[in-house]
């Protein structure tokens, strides 16, 4: 609902045990009819983010020339890095020196 005085959106609040709608700009108050106010606790705990170990190796090994050391074997995986209607990006990780490079084709 919107404020009848200034047009701002009305915020539901508790006032003397009743739920009212109050304008944050001008202070206009209106008794709320059929409005249920649910309280939510703010999340104070921080979630841990899983970090993949640098030594993570995929199971797929393909023949690919490493631009850094010249090794001819690399781990291979794909990942969507651009818009959904564009092809996936191919990633390679050298089995010898662990250098990572991309193939956009």
Buried b (16+ CB within 10 A) or exposed e, 77-102: eeeeeeeeeeeeebbbbbeeeeeeee
CA distance 87 to 89: 7
Active-site positions read 85-86
């Amino acid at each position: 609902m919107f404020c009848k005085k200034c047009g701002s959106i009305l915020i539901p609040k508790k006032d003397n045990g009743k739920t009212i709608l109050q304008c944050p700009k001008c202070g206009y108050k209106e008794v709320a009819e059929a409005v249920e106010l649910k309280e939510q606790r703010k999340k104070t705990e921080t979630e841990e983010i899983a970090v993949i170990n640098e030594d993570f190796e995929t199971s797929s090994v393909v023949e690919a020339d490493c631009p850094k050391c010249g090794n001819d074997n690399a781990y291979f995986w794909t990942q969507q890095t651009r818009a959904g209607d564009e092809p996936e990006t191919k990633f390679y990780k050298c089995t010898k020196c662990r250098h990572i490079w991309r193939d956009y084709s």
